[in-house]
Amino acid sequence: MEDYKNVCNTKSEQSVDKAAKPVKAKHIVREYAESILIAVLLAMVIRTFVVQAFKIPSGSMEDTLLIGDHLLVNKFIYGAKIPLTDTRILKIRDPRQGDVIVFEYPEDPSKDFIKRVVGVPGDVVEVKDKRVFVNGKLYANPHEVHKEQDTIPKEMNPRDFKDPVKVPAESYFVMGDNRDRSYDSRFWGFVTKDKIKGLAFIKYWSWDKEKFRVRLGNIGRLID
């Protein structure tokens, strides 16, 4: 009789163990699912409000930024933008002259552009013989380069000569550092504050496609 009880108890314990395994498996699956969900949500929050990665596709910012440079953009310094609205929160400061900003291209919002702020709201910007004047004073940015020797008359296009324009409120006049090969505010006008995504501040990776090599000297370099 005692042996029979032991056998019954053993079978009962095995049944409990078998029944417990699916419960444990479900618990593990739920833990993994919750961890993945939290990681995804955290990544979305960081990308939306804190920092975002961008890649340089063109030479309009040479030699400050090269094709193949990968950047991190500070998205909260000008105020984090709440998705699906124009509302910004926790702003530290407004864009300043000299800032390198990433923004939605005004003529095609699906594309991101990167340029340097030349004029802020209220400034008067003028281009004369390739030289930029802000409020009547020469704006000589140490990062600007000119790779074309010719001068284009303003009747043809405004690259080298642009009549004075006043920057409206909540807007910015931007230009590429590669002044002769940049499609910027000289051609299509101003960038409004609501289109600005953030301030480019560091290069975290750089790949030279033509020479098939990593630009080690660019990695970790701050953008000024």
Residues noted as catalytic: 60, 115
d(CA 117, CA 69): 20
Rounded Cα distance between 205 and 219, Å, is 5
Phi-psi region of 13 (alpha: psi -120 to 50; beta: other; left: phi over 0): alpha
Looking up tokens 């009789």 gives 1
Distance CA 104, CA 86 (A): 13
Contact by Cβ (8 Å): 60, 81: no
What does DSSP assign to residue 64?
Answer: T
Tell me if 204 sits within 8 A of 53, measured CB to CB.
yes
Find residue 115's DSSP bridge partners: 101
CA distance 200 to 177: 14
56 closest CA partner among 73, 39, 44, 36? 73
Interatomic CA distance for residues 56 and 84, integer angstroms:
26
